[in-house]
Amino acid sequence: MAGELDGKVAIVTGGGRGIGREHALGLAAAGAKVVVNDLGGDAAGSGADLTPAQEVANEITGAGGEAVVNGGNVADFAAAKEMVDQAVDTFGGLDIVINNAGILRDRMMFSMSEDDWDAVINVHLKGTFAPSHHAAVYWRGRSKAGETNNARIINTSSPSGIYGNVGQTNYGAAKAGIASFTQIAAMELAKYGVTVNCLAPAAVSRMTEDLMGGNLSDEQREAMSPRWIANVAIWLCGADAANVTGRVFDVRGQTVGVAEGWHLGPTATQSEDPFDLTEAMTTILGSARLNADMGGNDADGPGRPSQQI
């Protein structure tokens, strides 16, 4: 792997811990120069501390790589531009943006505050848009000046976003939005030499360990290590993935799959009277697949739509 990304410049948001840390270290091991962004707040988004990002940058430089720290808030539009400018000014360009920063404020919808909603949507959804926007402006400018791009945006969705999970309407809505953002951004940026893909990861991190039951064995931790997520991200940055774009990859340990997204299922012709729709609706619901469970598989259960009317 060493040298595959020689000369590339990457930004990793939320790069101080967990999956982001593995992204940053893996990119550097492959030869990329890395801007390690991390505000350094807690899992709920409070506080700030550059120490985690600095530790990752130190690890990279200590191994002979190149890295700098950025402590900007990804959801701050101006700070996101400064992040992109820092990459270009420090390393002479920008080739890769991995949008990984995130927080959790899990609540049932009836217990969720407005701030719980706004904070999670802001960090995840705007925090994906803002760095991507400024990077896209940079790459579009290069293209219009006659330069060639071979660039990557890799976003981070979640099984909660593409399949759904109780207690995470804010997080799931943001992550579903990121999946759709990925598909549309891929269409918009293709002509500028930019691919846009998305990961829906399941891994052990400070945000997920409690959700996985805590007290995990070393074997369980290795099976769900964040490094498996970074493995896919780094492949997406390489030459073999130059024509892969607009995809959402479900990554769980060593297992990687493609999440196929929304497709139109069975259809019927409506009558003009809404109360005469029962037969048509019964027919299409009886033929339609169930919504997926958190494993991405067909499943029925509480809160999932019945096939019966």
- pLDDT single digits (tens) 53-111: 999 999 999 999 999 999 999 999 999 999 999 999 999 999 999 999 999 999 999 99
Are 219 and 236 in the same domain? yes
Round to whole Å and give the CA distance between 151 and 131. 14
Does the annotation mark 126 as catalytic?
A: no
Are residues 208 and 244 located together in one domain of the fold? yes
Phi, psi of 97 (to 5 degrees): -125, 120
- Mean confidence (pLDDT) of the chain: 92
Question: What pLDDT shows up at residue 1?
Answer: 45
- What are 112-161's pLDDT values in tens digits? 999 999 999 999 999 999 999 999 999 999 999 999 999 999 999 999 99
- Same domain, yes or no: 166 and 81: yes
Query: Do 126 and 159 belong together in one domain?
Result: yes
Residues 194 and 296 in one domain: no
293 token code pair: 């469970």
Respond yes or no: is residue 111 known to be catalytic: no
Regarding whether 309 and 194 lie in a shared domain, the answer is no
Q: Which helix (H) or strand (E) holds 58?
A: helix 51-62
Number of domains in the chain: 2
The pLDDT of residue 213: 54
Domain that holds residue 204: 9-259
pLDDT given for residue 252 in this prediction = 93
Give the C-alpha distances (Å, rounded to integers) separating 269 from 260, 283, 284: 26, 11, 10
Q: Is residue 3 part of a domain?
A: no
Q: Catalytic: which of 138, 157, 160, 171?
A: 171
In a domain, 1, yes or no: no
Sheet holding 194-202, edge to edge: 67-70, 33-37, 9-12, 96-98, 151-156, 194-202, 248-252, 255-259
Same domain, 237 and 292: no
223 and 298 housed in the same domain: no
Active-site residue, 158 included: yes
Catalytic, out of 8, 81, 138, 158 = 158
**Is residue 160 domain-shared with residue 268, that is, in the same domain?**
no
